[in-house]
Structure 1
Amino acid sequence: MASFDTELDTARRIARQAGDILLRIYATDFAVQDKAGGMGPVTEADEQANAFIVAELRKAFPGDGVVAEESDNGSEGRRERCWYVDPLDGTQEFVNRNGEFAIHIGLAVGGQAKVGVVFRPVGDVLYSGVVGQGGFVEREGARTALRVSDVAEPASMRLVVSRSHRSKTTDAVAKQLGITKEKESGSVGLKCGLLAEATADIYIHTSGKSYRWDNCAPEAVLRSAGGILTDLGGTPYAYDGSELQNHRGLLACNAVAFPHVQPVVARFAREAGILR
């Protein structure tokens, strides 16, 4: 089995350097623009970090594909190895200056998420993992192994929800399952990080407006910790260039509760028209 040590170390280094770019701009009176097609806000931080990460990955791994949010290169996802990059996941959190944004650098091999790094520059929190080989969180110099919770009873689960995107379908699922404990977080990667370190148990994203760069690195981190990330129907997403948009939402969960939770999530998602 390949170890992916070089890929993981390189991605961690690049994420930290890109974090410096984000923090430098975060400290200024930066401009905010709206992306075309109602895709949300974008700043010079997104663009500068994107350019840096893509250039560094191409230098380190010239044979690999790179698909990044602020670059138009989706066709590279058809390569056997492809990096999926979100240079600033949680741009709205960046704009709101609440610190809950992250850099995602994920490597897919054969269409499956394999290596993931999620870095939160504010507070210096770095999640990293290789599927099948374990993961770690580094926080203020301390390194801790990641492992999802073993909370099996849905009513005992802790739901992590978006700070800036509240969903009626998520509320309906939580009510049906009897979930009463929840916490808010910004970036997809940070939510999956909370699951990976067992401080949350489930995350449901009901919008069809996320993309593979949003979830490749978080999925690798979560799976390295024993968790599961699929669409709302329970089917894993492929990172093979066939599609970039996550039309069928996201469900992240610990492994033991997944079989109890997923059918309920799918039923509500079908009623809401998210699954067909």
Structure 2
Amino acid sequence: MHPLDAELDIARRVARQAGAILLEVYATPFAVHDKAGGMGPVTEADERANAFIVEALRDAFPSDGVVAEESDNTSGASRFERCWFVDPMDGTQEFVNRNGEFAIHIGLAIAGKATLGVVYRPVGDTLYWGVVGQGGFVEHAKGRRALRVSDTAEPSALRLVVSRSHRSRLTDAVVRRLGITHEQACGSVGLKCGLLAEAACDLYLHVSDKSYRWDNCAPEAVLRAAGGILTDLGGTPYAYDGSELQNRRGLLACNAAAFEHVAPVVAGFAREAGILR
């Protein structure tokens, strides 16, 4: 028995049940609304899954904090040693576009560090999970296998995974500088980090400030459990202690072997672009 086995079991079960809620709505002609403050689209699926996950976690772990995307987050994580960060549907635009590349994120931070993560893709029934220091797994119809990032260190050989949305000049600059020739697009942050964790890709950049801790807590735990690294664009880890929820300095996810080659290049361009000060 590992110390977080119970948390992992519950998070996996809750993610699968929330996935069933998303698929129920996905099969209907659902309505799409714009969130206040230009925070992107939201659907009935986001809201129903959010309510379900939050209630399930609060029932199971009443002394833990819960920060969830579609909830009032002003109470924050700062009052709790353990706090769950929940994105009931990462990739709502992918849901709206009906391309299947959306996922549920359930992450547990302990003492401000991403520690346990579950990322579930309902379309295709793919479940990633991991505990930092204990390893991680991916589970789908073909069975279960251990997660381990690639050991590709040569920058020009890195396989980049990018968003399907707007392409940034900073990403183009990094690609040119490192000599990257292999790219693929994917929706959710969690699914991108899943590709890194199972060694199908090696590098991911998110250069906008329009992401939040619930987007990356679970993916970071899965990726770190697989031997990878997730930081801001300056190479500094994010804290999950409630001091801030917005990822103002973007995201850099990479295998460990290439990180020391990639991080200074990314940080240099991010400083030039004014993302890092």
Task: Give your verdict on TM over 0.5.
Answer: yes
Instruction: Determine the C-alpha separation between the residues in 2 that align with 1:28 and 1:19.
Output: 15
Instruction: Give the SS at the match of 1:210.
Output: coil
Verify the 8 A CA contact 1:105 1:217 in the aligned structure 2. Answer: yes
Instruction: Determine the C-alpha separation between the residues in 1 that align with 2:74 and 2:236.
Output: 21
Instruction: Determine the C-alpha separation between the residues in 1 that align with 2:58 and 2:13.
Output: 14
Instruction: Give the SS at the match of 2:120.
Output: strand
Instruction: Determine the C-alpha separation between the residues in 2 that align with 1:247 and 1:46.
Output: 23
Q: In the alignment, what sits opposite 1:20?
A: 20
Q: In the alignment, what sits opposite 1:148?
A: 149
Q: In the alignment, what sits opposite 1:63?
A: 63
Q: For the structure 1 residues 81 and 73, does the alpha-carbon distance in structure 2 shift closer, same or farther, using more than 3 Å as the test?
A: same
Once the 2 structures are TM-superposed, how far is the Cα of residue 74 of structure 1 from its aligned partner?
3.9
TM-score by length of 1: 0.99
Q: In the alignment, what sits opposite 1:166?
A: 167
Residue identity in the other structure for 1:25: V
Once the 2 structures are TM-superposed, how far is the Cα of residue 237 of structure 1 from its aligned partner?
0.1
RMSD (Å), alpha carbons:
1.0
1:189-208 counterparts in 2 under 5 A? 189-208=190-209
Instruction: Give the SS at the match of 1:247.
Output: coil
Residue identity in the other structure for 1:54: V
Between stretches 138-147 and 109-118, larger displacement belongs to 138-147
Verify the 8 A CA contact 1:90 1:187 in the aligned structure 2. Answer: yes
Residue identity in the other structure for 1:100: E
Instruction: Determine the C-alpha separation between the residues in 1 that align with 2:150 and 2:75.
Output: 37
Residue identity in the other structure for 2:149: V
Q: In the alignment, what sits opposite 2:123?
A: 122
Runs ≥4 residues deviating over 4 A: none
Residue identity in the other structure for 1:68: A
Instruction: Give the SS at the match of 2:183.
Output: strand
Residue identity in the other structure for 1:17: Q
Count, aligned residues: 276
Q: In the alignment, what sits opposite 2:44?
A: 44
Instruction: Determine the C-alpha separation between the residues in 2 that align with 1:262 and 1:76.
Output: 30
Once the 2 structures are TM-superposed, how far is the Cα of residue 76 of structure 1 from its aligned partner?
3.4
Once the 2 structures are TM-superposed, how far is the Cα of residue 141 of structure 1 from its aligned partner?
4.9
Q: For the structure 1 residues 142 and 74, does the alpha-carbon distance in structure 2 shift closer, same or farther, using more than 3 Å as the test?
A: farther
Residue identity in the other structure for 1:161: V
Residue identity in the other structure for 1:119: Y
Residue identity in the other structure for 1:23: L
Q: Deviations over 1:153-188 (max 9, x none)?
A: 000000000012322211110111000101110000
Instruction: Give the SS at the match of 1:73.
Output: coil
Instruction: Determine the C-alpha separation between the residues in 2 that align with 1:257 and 1:184.
Output: 20
Instruction: Determine the C-alpha separation between the residues in 2 that align with 1:216 and 1:246.
Output: 11
1:177-188 counterparts in 2 under 5 A? 177-188=178-189
Gaps of at least 5 residues in structure 1 are: none
Residue identity in the other structure for 2:222: V
Q: In the alignment, what sits opposite 1:175?
A: 176
Instruction: Determine the C-alpha separation between the residues in 2 that align with 1:6 and 1:39.
Output: 34
Once the 2 structures are TM-superposed, how far is the Cα of residue 139 of structure 1 from its aligned partner?
1.1
Instruction: Determine the C-alpha separation between the residues in 2 that align with 1:236 and 1:165.
Output: 25
1:210-229 counterparts in 2 under 5 A? 210-229=211-230
Q: In the alignment, what sits opposite 2:96?
A: 95
Instruction: Give the SS at the match of 1:143.
Output: strand
Instruction: Determine the C-alpha separation between the residues in 1 that align with 2:74 and 2:61.
Output: 17
Residue identity in the other structure for 1:3: P
1:224-243 counterparts in 2 under 5 A? 224-243=225-244
Instruction: Determine the C-alpha separation between the residues in 2 that align with 1:126 and 1:162.
Output: 20
Once the 2 structures are TM-superposed, how far is the Cα of residue 75 of structure 1 from its aligned partner?
2.7
TM-score by length of 2: 0.98
Instruction: Determine the C-alpha separation between the residues in 1 that align with 2:85 and 2:67.
Output: 5
Gaps of at least 5 residues in structure 2 are: none
Instruction: Determine the C-alpha separation between the residues in 1 that align with 2:74 and 2:214.
Output: 10
Residue identity in the other structure for 2:199: A
Once the 2 structures are TM-superposed, how far is the Cα of residue 2 of structure 1 from its aligned partner?
5.7
